Amino acid sequence: MKDYYYFLGISHDASEEDIKKSYRKLSLKYHPDKNENDDFFADRFREIQEAYETLSDRTRRKTYDQNLENHQKSFRYNVPPSIKTFTANKIHAKKGEEIIVNWQTSNADVVKVLPFGLEKAYGERIFKITEFKDGKFQILLHATNSLLHKTVVQGITITEVFESDGEKFRDRAEELFRSQPNTVTNPKGHPKIFRIFFALLILALALYFLISNFT
């Protein structure tokens, strides 16, 4: 059973205003029009809409809460969770190529496949990788028994392959000039080439002053 509270990133005692705020924020982030109609974002957007429509209606939310509680109780085993299978049809793929992932868990009442989110205890997901990080794309399966507070995790790493050396070089070059996420060490999200140039400049200045001291 889907956990709508998880989809919206709110607690189970969230107010109506909390539900609205979360929905507005997430619907803007995952709207397909803002993400080139990517299937992953389209799926997440549908889940967010489904969650909001249920939780924003008092009667539907009350019924949903009762069903969710009964569902969670029915899966409260005294046996630790386990992952029986977690496979992908390929571990080497090109950007935009279709990947099929299958999984099966046991004794788990909360199952997540990241980066996609909550899933059933067993299932299949078909998707396309639109972006690799350092030539890799990682998928993680989390199986949790909430009564025992135990979680098992298993991962699959998909490695990027290229049509040719020229394509690989072009992709690496584009990565150097692509804006990076804002972090503490890179608050403005400068491209990697900017940081490389800055590091070389510092090195050149250090060498200059070092040589100057010896002459």
Tell me which residue of 104, 140, 138 sits closest to 120, measured CA to CA. 104
pLDDT tens for residues 9-26?
Answer: 888 899 999 999 999 999
Domain that holds residue 130: 82-160
89 and 153, same domain (yes or no):
yes
Count how many domains the chain has: 3
Tokens 């046996």: give the residue: 79
Judge whether 146 and 109 are in contact, CB under 8 Å: yes
Longest Cα pair distance anywhere in the chain, in angstroms? 84
For residue 66, the SS3 value is helix
148 and 188, same domain (yes or no):
no
Tokens of 126: 């078909």
The single-letter DSSP state of residue 81 is -
The whole-model pTM stands at: 0.52
Residues with Cβ within 8 Å of 191's Cβ and at least 6 positions away in sequence, in order, are 176, 177, 178, 179, 180
102 and 152, same domain (yes or no):
yes
pLDDT tens for residues 80-119?
Answer: 899 999 999 999 998 888 999 999 999 888 899 998 888 8
Element of type H or E holding 157: strand 150-160
The CATH number covering residue 156 comes to 2.60.40
Question: How far apart (Å, rounded) are the C-alpha atoms in residues 175 and 162?
Answer: 15
